[in-house]
Amino acid sequence: MGKTCSFYLLGLFLFFFSAKGMGNPIESQAIQAANDQQQEIVAIAKKVADWQIEHFSENYHGKNAPKGWIAGALYLGMFDWAELSGETTYFDWLKKVFNRQYWQVADRMYHADDICVSQTYIDMFHKFGEEKMIIPTIARIDWVIDHPSLGSLFIDYNKPSTYERWSWCDALFMAPPVYSRLYAFTGDDKYMAFADKEYKATYFQLFDEEEGLFFRDSRYFDQQEANGRKVFWGRGNGWVIGGLAEILKTLPASDKTYRPFYEELFVKLATRLAELQCPDGYWHASLLDPESYPSPETSATGFIVYGLAYGINQGYLPAERFLPVVKKGWKALTAAVESDGKLGWVQPVGADPRKVTREMTELYGVGAFLLAACELYQLSN
């Protein structure tokens, strides 16, 4: 056979023996690296979640705070983290908070912010099956559908009727995923038909085709940043991509009536946002003028990383294009976590780009971080 050929066959035999009998070393290293990455994600998510639970009452503020949108975004991330961690203590904490408020939504009948909490109520109902968890939500949503607002989409804070509908982009995170959940849960088309009509009205009002981004609301149509560019808020567009992920997560996979629009918009917005990531890995408070807002901003970054990671996991976004963006964003997010688990660099409550410092934190920033962590974990599988 000849010495060269004999050595070749021996080498081939040893290769297949190591790959099939003992495990491919390269494959084993990749598996170990993925396991290590997952452990790191779990460790930092636990630290952040535990710190926030300990400091929960210190960080919410405003009327109806535990039922409002600030806490509502946290609950979403905490629910996903509870599922991933498998620790019942997090579900126990959510139950404790929700039982204290009798699973009620906040006061304003039409306001999108005041039903954000219902997303987690419905998720809890699916897990635990207690009707008390969804009765107030269904009552509110049914009333709104039966008595639709005729308010304008041109927002004016002196006219309450102008924010009864989804006239600002944040609302696309707060309310539509409640309706998509009820549609999936009940099978009743009235929920998604209403949400789809209102969502598209907001889309046509606020989406800028030229830039591929959402204005915060109509007041910003003619405003400019210091560099002359249009004003597009980082977290505002983060709310939208996060809300789209929640809609797509909860719409039935077989749905052909509604999914195509939301899938197409999701890919369009995700692609544009990926282009706007800053060299430091963050999306800053202003998407088109980051030089005027040089500080990191973790709430925008958290929601965008969450959306992009979800898109990769579901096959909407090609990993070769978007995974480096997600990894860079996640590295930036984890750099904003203090040793005790406090997440910093969270832009405070507001309607437009603002200055941010490392000491600033908010519940919604932690919610975004936990949502992103859970999707990152799935990416490592």
What is the tens place of the pLDDT at every residue in 208-223? 999 999 999 999 999 9
**Token pair belonging to 138:** 């269904």
CB neighbourhood size of 327 (10 A): 16
Q: Residue 146: pLDDT above 50?
A: yes
Between CA 351 and CA 358, with CA 353 as vertex, the angle to 5 degrees is: 115
Looking at residues 366-378, what average pLDDT do you find? 98
In the chain, what is the straight-line distance between the N-terminal and C-terminal CA atoms, in Å? 45
Q: What pLDDT was estimated at residue 23?
A: 58
Q: Residue 13: pLDDT above 80?
A: no
Q: For residues 242 and 116, is the Cβ–Cβ distance under 8 A?
A: no
Q: Which strand (E) or helix (H) includes residue 214? A: strand 213-214
Rounded Cα distance between 37 and 35, Å, is 5
Rounded Cα distance between 155 and 3, Å, is 83
Query: Residues 170, 196, 217, 289: which is the catalytic one?
Result: 170
Q: Is 170 labeled as catalytic in the residue annotation? A: yes
CB-hemisphere CA count at 13 Å for 37?
18
Paired strand residues for 224: 230
Q: What pLDDT was estimated at residue 342?
A: 98
Average of per-residue pLDDT values in the chain: 92
pLDDT in tens, 342-351: 999 999 998 8
Using 50, 70 and 90 to split pLDDT, how confident is the model at 277? very high
pLDDT in tens, 33-60: 778 899 999 999 999 999 999 999 877 7
Looking at residues 254-278, what average pLDDT do you find? 98
pTM here is 0.92
Looking at residues 155-181, what average pLDDT do you find? 97
Would you call 101 helix, strand, or coil by DSSP?
Answer: coil
Q: How far is CA 120 from CA 113, 116, 263, 305, in A?
A: 14, 8, 23, 20
Using 50, 70 and 90 to split pLDDT, how confident is the model at 81? very high
pLDDT in tens, 321-335: 999 999 999 999 999
Looking at residues 209-238, what average pLDDT do you find? 97
Residue type (1 letter), 272: R
Helices (runs of H) and strands (runs of E) counted in the chain: 15, 2
Using 50, 70 and 90 to split pLDDT, how confident is the model at 293? very high
pLDDT in tens, 106-134: 999 999 999 999 999 999 999 999 999 99
Higher pLDDT among residues 29 and 198, named by residue: 198
pLDDT in tens, 294-318: 999 999 999 999 999 999 999 999 9
Would you call 185 helix, strand, or coil by DSSP?
Answer: helix
Topology of domain 43-379 in CATH is Glycosyltransferase (1.50.10)
Phi-psi region of 144 (alpha: psi -120 to 50; beta: other; left: phi over 0): alpha
Q: For residues 79 and 124, is the Cβ–Cβ distance under 8 A?
A: yes
Using 50, 70 and 90 to split pLDDT, how confident is the model at 9? very low
Rounded Cα distance between 287 and 278, Å, is 9
Phi-psi region of 229 (alpha: psi -120 to 50; beta: other; left: phi over 0): beta
Looking at residues 229-257, what average pLDDT do you find? 97
Rounded Cα distance between 201 and 192, Å, is 14
**Percentage above 90 pLDDT, the chain:** 86
Q: Residue 14: pLDDT above 50?
A: no
**Token pair belonging to 81:** 């983290």
CB neighbourhood size of 97 (10 A): 19
CB neighbourhood size of 340 (10 A): 11
